[in-house]
């Protein structure tokens, strides 16, 4: 049902006003472009307030019918169309809620010496937020691509904030290149979906009658374009380069929020604009998602740079999201609406979860980077004593990303696993063979994610400092702490209240025509994914059980062993005193993964010589996709460019000859 706006205070109008407020805040940053204090004390808190209002508006309007509107903006005969529905509201909620914590942290993070002027950073930051919101509200191809390109350009300038570093400029160029290649594919997908009507509103695309071949072409083009923005393997190479290069609040926004706009676009195209999904369409995102999940987590385990580790972890979680998307398409295509709804709910919930978890960890790594000047985990350690606020918030994020109950990461991965395991015999033999393998790969990725988070938190925050300079590390400031704990609170609440949140997300399945199956009857504290299956989860019961076991253990120990416990130094293995050099390093922690999954890596080893006075053993870990696909492709493009460079003779007579020959060829073709 589409409700036409009757007043200026409809949820759609208010959402547009809030996005416009972000734009105005960005422009206001230019009033004092060199004043970092003006940016941090006024502009970023104002942006956080707008994000909070947007999140509240989206949460309230999630229960309201869809609305659409034509704006008096755009080109002649090509105005901008906007629309909000349940799917839009979920992602606006994600954008607004995460921007609150990130903006609060940014108000204590940015300094004058970041590279670009503070006012310019503030402008690009708030344009980035507003453009992501307009992507979610766009209801035509023109408005969508306008917002999409604005999002890409503003994030490019944010990635290259410290443009004085050559590696940062290279990372920004790679990001922009792949973003535009993906944008071309999305534009071509819209061109196919208009179905010959030459009307590019989303309503026209919904009404278009595409043949199965053209519908599949539109879906695959969209998968390529949105997959490039999301970081699906093999389109992922920009992500581990751009995220470490960007300032940490920007990395948090890109990983936590921007990657989800690609998921939103894929959901919009697959379930709404094309609509009549074929079951085999789901095999492509399902396979790419599972491979990306395993590939990302394996590479994350081998990293020693904490921001690259988190970047590869984002590839893993994007893989999980696209796995759920593919599973929902398969179930919907074979008529299993209840399981399709369950898979979609798992995708939406994991999108919310990952936004909070990954934003929190990127911000924590930014606080560590500011306090120590180090991204290399091999030079960190023992920071829990000097940065307790950052350490405890990072622990919440690490436990959540590891998928441990009762935090939020467990809920969505458990729901997706239920969708795999609850599937009855799908009337496709190949799919029946694929689903058990998919469930096994999902479990393996989740287990390796826990391994990665143990490495991240243990090496950075536990043990002894690996460098003397770490003793001067300082904790995060008040605004940074507030931003961290806002996101940590989101991880906790999403973990404790899934039974209250998931019913609201069911409105998305109805809006996308997946079915309106009623949720299974269960107590308010328990989550039951399907009514006819004996499986449930209750985070509150889990917490109560853990508390009971811990209390009983304390009672027994104090009753039976009272005054018999003594404290002594930790066992030092007979060495007579442990030092920081005896701790397991980041490289050593990842060595078993490198050994088991060696075919994934392009490794180069430097062995010590017998004549070295200070022998060292070094290992460089590369990406086979980069060496096997992108470098040869780049070389071929460069060779082609050199081959046609002779056309540029630098003589006007030759250029006139080209024009004359081209005109003759056109006349010959026409006549």
320 φ, ψ (degrees, to nearest 5):
-60, -40
Mean pLDDT of the chain: 86
How many angstroms separate the CA atoms of 570 and 574, rounded?
11
Is the pLDDT score of 565 beyond 50?
A: yes
Lowest mean pLDDT among 175-179, 217-221, 529-533, 594-598: 529-533
Which residue has 């009507």 as its token pair? 197
54 inside domain: no
Span 440-462, mean pLDDT?
Answer: 91
* Token pair listed for 356: 């909070």
pLDDT at residue 51, as a whole number = 95
- Which residues does residue 541 pair with via DSSP β-bridges, in sequence order? none
In a shared domain, residues 493 and 613:
no
pLDDT at residue 630, as a whole number = 84
23 inside domain: no
Span 587-599, mean pLDDT?
Answer: 81
pLDDT at residue 485, as a whole number = 94
Is the pLDDT score of 622 beyond 50?
A: yes
pLDDT at residue 400, as a whole number = 93
How many angstroms separate the CA atoms of 635 and 623, rounded?
17
Which residue has 């063979």 as its token pair? 433
Distance of CA 59 to the CA centre of its chain: 21
pLDDT at residue 537, as a whole number = 79
Which of the listed residues 457, 484, 513 is the one where a domain comes to its end?
Answer: 513
* Token pair listed for 342: 């369950």
pTM: 0.91
136 φ, ψ (degrees, to nearest 5):
-70, -30
Is the pLDDT score of 489 beyond 50?
A: yes
Range with top average pLDDT, 104-118, 539-553, 639-653: 539-553
Would you call the peptide bond into 406 cis, given omega within 30 degrees of 0 as the criterion? yes
Question: Distance of CA 190 to CAs 73, 174, 194, 268, 386, Å?
Answer: 21, 25, 6, 12, 53
56 inside domain: no
Are 23 and 126 in contact, with CB atoms under 8 Å apart? Answer: yes
Is the pLDDT score of 2 beyond 50?
A: no
pLDDT at residue 542, as a whole number = 83
Range with top average pLDDT, 53-57, 114-118, 504-508: 53-57
Q: How many CB atoms lie within 10 A of CB 13?
A: 16
Is the pLDDT score of 257 beyond 70?
A: yes
In a shared domain, residues 611 and 475:
no
Which of 401, 367, 358 is closest to 386 using CA atoms?
367
Which has more confidence, 581 or 531? 581
Share of the chain residues as helix, strand and coil, in percent rounded to the nearest 5: 70, 5, 25
Are 464 and 580 in contact, with CB atoms under 8 Å apart? Answer: yes
Span 326-331, mean pLDDT?
Answer: 91
Which of the listed residues 513, 532, 555 is the one where a domain comes to its end?
Answer: 513
How many angstroms separate the CA atoms of 251 and 107, rounded?
15
Half-sphere exposure of 665 (CA within 13 A, CB side): 6
As to burial, measured by CB atoms within 10 angstroms (0-12 exposed, 13-18 middle, 19+ buried), residue 392 is: middle
How many angstroms separate the CA atoms of 107 and 114, rounded?
13
In a shared domain, residues 489 and 623:
no
The 3-state DSSP class for residue 621 equals strand
In a shared domain, residues 447 and 323:
yes
Is the pLDDT score of 6 beyond 50?
A: no
In a shared domain, residues 327 and 441:
yes
Q: Kindly indicate the confidence band of residue 53, based on its pLDDT and cuts at 50, 70 and 90.
A: very high
pLDDT at residue 1, as a whole number = 39
pLDDT at residue 79, as a whole number = 86
What's the structural domain count of the chain? 2
Which residue has 């696209």 as its token pair? 322
As to burial, measured by CB atoms within 10 angstroms (0-12 exposed, 13-18 middle, 19+ buried), residue 475 is: middle
Would you call the peptide bond into 234 cis, given omega within 30 degrees of 0 as the criterion? yes
290 inside domain: yes
Question: Distance of CA 644 to CAs 639, 650, 660, 666, Å?
Answer: 9, 14, 19, 21
In a shared domain, residues 482 and 614:
no
Which of 367, 248, 371 is closest to 310 using CA atoms?
248
pLDDT at residue 153, as a whole number = 94
Which of 620, 584, 590, 240 is closest to 448 using CA atoms?
590
Bridge-based pairing state of the strands 601-606 and 618-623 = antiparallel
In a shared domain, residues 505 and 605:
no
235 inside domain: no
pLDDT at residue 3, as a whole number = 45
2-3 sheet: strands from edge to edge: 2-3, 66-75, 78-84
Is the pLDDT score of 80 beyond 80?
A: yes
Span 428-457, mean pLDDT?
Answer: 88
Q: What is the CA radius of gyration of the chain?
A: 26
Which of the listed residues 498, 513, 528 is the one where a domain comes to its end?
Answer: 513
Range with top average pLDDT, 25-34, 51-60, 163-172: 51-60
Which has more confidence, 301 or 531? 301
pLDDT at residue 563, as a whole number = 62
Is the pLDDT score of 610 beyond 70?
A: no
Span 62-90, mean pLDDT?
Answer: 87
Which has more confidence, 645 or 25? 25
Q: Using the 8-state DSSP alphabet, how is residue 603 labeled?
A: E
Is the pLDDT score of 37 beyond 70?
A: yes
In a shared domain, residues 330 and 479:
yes
584 inside domain: no
Q: Kindly indicate the confidence band of residue 434, based on its pLDDT and cuts at 50, 70 and 90.
A: confident
Alpha helices in 422-477 (DSSP H): 429-461
* Distance between first and last Cα of the chain: 52
In a shared domain, residues 505 and 603:
no
Is the pLDDT score of 275 beyond 80?
A: no
Which residue has 């010496």 as its token pair? 113
As to burial, measured by CB atoms within 10 angstroms (0-12 exposed, 13-18 middle, 19+ buried), residue 640 is: exposed
Span 122-126, mean pLDDT?
Answer: 93
In a shared domain, residues 349 and 498:
yes
Are 315 and 230 in contact, with CB atoms under 8 Å apart? Answer: no
pLDDT at residue 545, as a whole number = 87
Domain that holds residue 602: 598-670
pLDDT at residue 267, as a whole number = 93
In a shared domain, residues 337 and 454:
yes
77 φ, ψ (degrees, to nearest 5):
60, 15
Q: Kindly indicate the confidence band of residue 401, based on its pLDDT and cuts at 50, 70 and 90.
A: very high
- Which residues does residue 2 pair with via DSSP β-bridges, in sequence order? 66
Q: Using the 8-state DSSP alphabet, how is residue 64 labeled?
A: S
370 inside domain: yes
356 inside domain: yes
Angle, helix 306-333 to helix 429-461, in steps of 10 degrees: 160
Are 236 and 259 in contact, with CB atoms under 8 Å apart? Answer: no
Span 119-146, mean pLDDT?
Answer: 93
pLDDT at residue 484, as a whole number = 94
In a shared domain, residues 643 and 508:
no
How many angstroms separate the CA atoms of 36 and 544, rounded?
47
Q: What is the pLDDT of residues 197-229, one digit of tens each?
A: 888 889 888 888 888 889 999 999 999 999 999
pLDDT at residue 655, as a whole number = 81
């Amino acid at each position: 049902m589409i409700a036409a706006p009757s007043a200026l205070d409809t949820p759609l109008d208010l959402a547009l006003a809030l996005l416009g407020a972000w734009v105005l805040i960005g422009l206001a940053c230019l009033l004092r472009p060199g004043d970092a204090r003006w940016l941090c004390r006024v502009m970023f808190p104002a942006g956080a307030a707008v994000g909070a209002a947007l999140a509240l508006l989206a949460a309230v309007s999630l229960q309201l019918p869809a609305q659409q509107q034509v704006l008096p903006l755009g080109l002649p005969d090509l105005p901008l169309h906007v629309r909000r529905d349940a799917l839009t509201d979920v992602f606006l909620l994600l954008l607004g809620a995460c921007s609150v914590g990130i903006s609060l942290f940014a108000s204590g993070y940015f300094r004058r010496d970041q590279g670009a002027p503070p006012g310019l950073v503030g402008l690009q930051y708030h344009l980035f937020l507003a453009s992501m919101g307009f992507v979610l509200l766009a209801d035509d191809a023109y408005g969508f691509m306008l917002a999409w390109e604005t999002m890409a350009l503003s994030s490019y300038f944010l990635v290259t904030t410290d443009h004085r570093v050559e590696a940062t400029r290279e990372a920004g160029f790679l990001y922009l290149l792949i973003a535009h290649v993906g944008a071309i594919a999305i534009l071509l997908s819209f061109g196919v979906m208009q179905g010959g009507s030459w009307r590019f509103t989303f309503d026209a695309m919904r009404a278009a009658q595409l043949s199965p071949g053209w519908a599949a072409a539109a879906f695959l083009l969209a998968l390529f374009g949105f997959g490039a923005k999301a970081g699906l393997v093999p389109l992922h190479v920009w992500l581990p380069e751009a995220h470490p290069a960007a300032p940490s609040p920007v990395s948090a926004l890109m990983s936590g929020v921007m990657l989800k706009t690609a998921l939103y676009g894929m959901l919009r195209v697959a379930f709404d604009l094309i609509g009549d999904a074929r079951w085999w369409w789901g095999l492509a995102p399902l396979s790419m998602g599972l491979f990306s999940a395993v590939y990302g987590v394996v590479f994350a385990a081998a990293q020693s740079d904490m921001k690259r580790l988190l970047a590869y972890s984002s590839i893993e979680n994007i893989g999980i999201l696209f796995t759920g998307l593919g599973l929902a398409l398969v179930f919907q295509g074979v008529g299993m609406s209840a399981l399709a709804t369950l898979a979609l709910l798992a995708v939406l919930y994991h999108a919310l979860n990952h936004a909070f978890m990954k934003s929190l960890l990127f911000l924590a790594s930014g606080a560590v980077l500011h306090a120590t000047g180090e991204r290399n985990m091999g030079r960190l350690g023992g920071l829990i004593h000097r940065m307790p606020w950052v350490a405890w918030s990072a622990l919440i994020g690490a436990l959540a990303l590891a998928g441990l109950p009762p935090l939020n990461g467990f809920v969505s991965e458990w729901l997706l696993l239920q969708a795999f395991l609850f599937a009855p015999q799908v009337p496709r033999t190949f799919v029946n063979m694929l689903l058990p393998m998919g469930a096994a790969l999902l479990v393996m990725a989740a287990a390796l994610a826990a391994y990665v988070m143990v490495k991240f938190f243990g090496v950075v925050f536990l043990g002894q400092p690996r460098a003397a300079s770490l003793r001067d590390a300082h904790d995060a400031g008040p605004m940074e702490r507030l931003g961290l704990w806002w996101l940590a609170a989101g991880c906790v609440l999403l973990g404790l209240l899934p039974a209250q949140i998931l019913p609201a997300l069911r409105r998305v399945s109805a809006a996308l025509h997946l079915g309106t199956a009623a949720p299974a009857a269960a107590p308010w504290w328990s989550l039951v994914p399907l009514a006819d299956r004996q499986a449930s989860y209750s985070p509150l019961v889990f917490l109560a059980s853990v508390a009971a076991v811990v209390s009983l253990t304390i009672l027994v120990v104090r009753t039976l062993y009272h005054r018999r416990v003594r404290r002594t130094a930790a066992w030092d293995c007979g060495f007579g005193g442990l030092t920081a050099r005896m701790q397991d390093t980041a490289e050593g922690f990842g060595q078993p993964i490198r050994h088991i999954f060696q075919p994934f890596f392009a490794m180069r080893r430097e062995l010590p010589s017998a004549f070295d006075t200070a022998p060292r053993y070094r290992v460089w870990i590369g990406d086979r996709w980069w060496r096997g696909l992108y470098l040869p492709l780049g070389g071929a493009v460069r060779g082609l460019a050199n081959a046609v460079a002779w056309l540029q003779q630098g003589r006007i007579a030759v250029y006139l000859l080209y024009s004359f020959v081209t005109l003759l060829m056109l006349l010959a073709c026409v006549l």
